[in-house]
Amino acid sequence: MDLALDILLIILVAVFAWVGVELALTVKKARAGLVPMLDELDTTVKKANATIDSVDKTIQDLGPAVQEVQPLLGKVETTVDALSLDLLHVNDILGDVSTMTGTASKATESVTGVVEKASHAVNSAVAKVTGRADAAAARLERAKDDVEDAANAAKADVEDAVVETVSSDSGYFTYPTDRDQS
């Protein structure tokens, strides 16, 4: 049996030697595949570090600018408040202008009525004195038409004026658009 045991031991040693060689070859192949991957990983880490350094520098450079943002926002807020107050004053002024144009329109209508009545009275008096009622009536009609034309032209000028309004509930200035004017 010694011989069988010796043969078995020789076979086992040969198998272990073969497994050792195969293991060594596998590790060598794996290492050959890992080296390029490790090189690529190293390159990627270097690029990432450069990017992180660049971001850190940018953040440091932005530090003073960030500190200036808060005071700048305060100034913008003050400017917007002042502009809002100015727009409210403009709205008040436009309201006054609207009232004055309405009053002017009423005054024009009153003057037209007075001129018409005075003209009619003069025409009647002249017609009685001279007996030419038809010619005087024609002149009165022409004068009446001229006064009406002037009053209508003044009224059209007032109506054509575009008045921009400020919304009383929001405090924002509203600009007319092409749709509003159509």
Between 9 and 89, whose confidence is greater?
Answer: 9
Which domain, by its residues, includes 35?
1-62
Tell me: do 50 and 87 sit in the same domain: no
> What is the residue-averaged pLDDT of the chain?
78
Domain count, the chain: 2
Beta-carbon count within 10 A of 136 CB: 21
13: pLDDT strictly greater than 90: yes
Provide CB contacts within 8 A for 147, sequence distance 6+.
111, 112, 115, 116
**Which tokens sit at 131?**
């007996």
Using DSSP's 3-state secondary structure scheme, residue 173 falls into strand
Rounded distance, CA 167 to CA 89, Å?
A: 13
Q: Say how many residues make up the chain.
A: 182
Are 16 and 49 in a shared domain?
yes
Q: Are residues 47 and 86 located together in one domain of the fold? A: no
166 in any annotated domain: yes
Tokens of 97: 């202008």
Distance of CA 69 to the CA centre of its chain: 21
Answer with the one of 18, 35, 62 that is the final residue of a domain: 62
Q: Would the pTM count as exceeding 0.95?
A: no
Contact at 8 Å (CB) between 24 and 16?
A: no
d(CA 101, CA 117): 24
159-176 pLDDT, tens digit per residue, is 665 555 544 555 555 566
Residue 182 CA to residue 178 CA, distance in Å, equals 6
103 closest CA partner among 154, 178, 32:
154
Spatial distance between the Cα atoms of 106 and 127, rounded to a whole number of angstroms? 31
